[in-house]
Structure 1
Amino acid sequence: MEAVAKLKNYPTGPMKMRLLADVIRGMEVEKALAILEFHPQHNATPLAKLLKSAINNWEQKNNGASAADSGLIVKTIFVDGGRTLKRMRPAPQGRGYRVRKRSNHVTIIVDSKN
């Protein structure tokens, strides 16, 4: 039985978050958490927190079964673009350059191996 956790409107670009999502896709949960804990990108912290939330959701669905014993894996993880805040930055000769502050939505689905 699979469990889902979602992170919405996290204020970083989706391409940066996809780099981390590609690293942990299909990996065992304990190994993915260990990688995210020591990863240098700042996106690793909320992604690890989201993964822990997905693990807890799976444990609640399965009547408190331990995630470590069942061989839980990251079945699916995908990153979608969220809302984009549009801001203006002063530019030479009275112009204004548009700055797009992007955000993303992350969805993690965890499931047991068998």
Structure 2
Amino acid sequence: MKQETNVVSASLNGVRNSPRKMRLIADLIRNKEIQTAIDLLSHSRKRKVSFIFKKLLLSLLSNWEKKNNQSYDSENKGFLYIKEIKVDQGKTLKRLRPVPQGRGHRIRKRSSNIVVLLDKKKET
């Protein structure tokens, strides 16, 4: 049996922002319609993180258009939603910060890996 899937994915690796900060915005747009999510990101106070997610969602829409050979226009709005969004920890850059008495404290510059899945709503 062949199972038809409408799931499309987009990912972004090595984002120079900590996963903890990224998950705050990821939780905000999880399970939302794609247009609603883009609107929420446009008005978010976390500018840097929301800009990254907005670009990723636009890439996700482009992937969906290529896969389904149809454009996402005003007639098709409202049936695509964010099925899953994962933010994992990427590589950590380790740096040393000099402190008094000849010591050094470690600074960890964290990065994130993001995966977003887009799916079509079931018609009821």
Instruction: Report the Cα distance in structure 2 between the residues aligned to 1:110 and 1:2, rounded to whole angstroms.
Output: 6
Q: Of the two, which has the highest radius of gyration?
A: 2
Letter in 2 for 1:55: L
Q: Name the residue aligned to 1:93.
A: 101
Instruction: Report the Cα distance in structure 2 between the residues aligned to 1:80 and 1:12, rounded to whole angstroms.
Output: 11
Q: Please tell me the root mean square deviation across aligned C-alpha atoms, in Å.
A: 1.1
Q: What is the percentage of aligned positions where both structures have the same residue?
A: 42
Gaps of 5+ in 1: none
Asked whether the equivalents of residues 61 and 72 of structure 2 are also in contact (C-alpha less than 8 Å), the reply is: no
Q: Name the residue aligned to 2:57.
A: 51
Give the total of aligned pairs. 114
Aligned partner of residue 43 in structure 1, secondary structure: helix
Task: Determine which structure has the larger helix proportion and give its number.
Answer: 1
Q: Name the residue aligned to 1:81.
A: 89
Matched, 1:8 2:16: no
Q: Deviations over 1:85-105 (max 9, x none)?
A: 000001111100000000000
Q: Name the residue aligned to 1:72.
A: 80
Asked whether the equivalents of residues 55 and 67 of structure 1 are also in contact (C-alpha less than 8 Å), the reply is: no
Q: Name the residue aligned to 1:25.
A: 30
Provide TM-score, normalisation by structure 2: 0.88
Q: Deviations over 1:29-88 (max 9, x none)?
A: 000000101111120001100011011101110012426515110000000000000000
Gaps of 5+ in 2: 1-5
Matched, 1:106 2:114: yes
Letter in 2 for 1:10: V
